[in-house]
Amino acid sequence: MRRFHLVAAAVFAAVVASFATACSPTFNWRDVNVEGTSLKAMLPCKPDKDSREVPMAGKPAMLEVLACDAGSAKFALLHADIGDVTRVGDALWQWRLATLANLRGAAARDAPFTPPGATPVPQAAKVSAIGQRADGSKVESQAAYFASGSHVFQAVIYADRITPEMTESFFAGLQLQ
């Protein structure tokens, strides 16, 4: 009888191990502290970093980017310190308009969005849009625009079809400390 239990336990362990290796999750959510800011976020994959100078609210700003691909979607966290809290609202509004122009689409839904710890500003919003990629194919986008002091942020997902599995952890994980 004892031998039967050992064999059964071994078979069970082998089945569990093979099941675990065969079923790797599409999204491997992890905490990310966005360097140089107080933003803590969740990303479903290990991000790559990039930066470039861009105009924001009429002045050049260094835009920092963390981005990765998972589950046929691109997830990105972007931020810039525009150096002047009085320009934050203009920067968020212009950023929103530029993103929609690049998508060649119009906002389908627009709702206020202020993650925990963010500075409340009227231009902070979560925007869902449907547009076109450069090759003409359809793309869906959900982007959140928010601020903390003179820092402005965009958290965005691009995919052929955006699902709750993509959005729930991503947007709920945004918090400023």
Residue pLDDT, tens place only, 133-172? 889 899 999 999 999 999 999 999 999 999 999 999 999 9
Higher pLDDT, 128 or 4: 128
pLDDT tens track for 25-84: 789 999 999 999 999 999 999 999 999 999 998 899 999 999 999 999 999 999 999 999
Higher pLDDT, 58 or 15: 58
What integer pLDDT is reported at residue 6 of this predicted model? 35
CATH of domain 26-176: 3.40.1000.10
Residue 105 to residues 9, 141, 153, 161: CA-CA distances in angstroms? 57, 10, 21, 15
User: In the numeric block, which tokens belong to residue 59?
Assistant: 């002045």
The average confidence (pLDDT) of the chain is 87
Residue 23 to residues 19, 20, 26, 78, 164: CA-CA distances in angstroms? 6, 5, 9, 31, 20
Indicate whether 125 pLDDT > 60: yes
Residue 26, CB-side half-sphere exposure with 13 Å CA sphere: 9
Higher pLDDT, 111 or 21: 111
**Reported pTM:** 0.84
Tell me the pLDDT band of 108, cut-offs 50, 70 and 90: confident
Write the CB contacts of 139 (distance below 8 Å, at least 6 apart in sequence). Answer: 103, 130, 131, 132, 133, 158, 159, 160
Which sequence spans correspond to the domains of the chain? Answer: 26-176
What integer pLDDT is reported at residue 109 of this predicted model? 87
| Amino acid, res. 104 | R
Average pLDDT rounded to a whole number, residues 96-119:
90
- Sequential DSSP letters for 103-117: HT--EEEEEE---TT
What integer pLDDT is reported at residue 26 of this predicted model? 84
Q: How far is CA 59 from its chain centroid?
A: 25
What integer pLDDT is reported at residue 106 of this predicted model? 64
The DSSP output letter for 161 is: S
User: In the numeric block, which tokens belong to residue 141?
Assistant: 């986008």
Indicate whether 7 pLDDT > 60: no
What integer pLDDT is reported at residue 107 of this predicted model? 64
Q: How far is CA 61 from its chain centroid?
A: 21
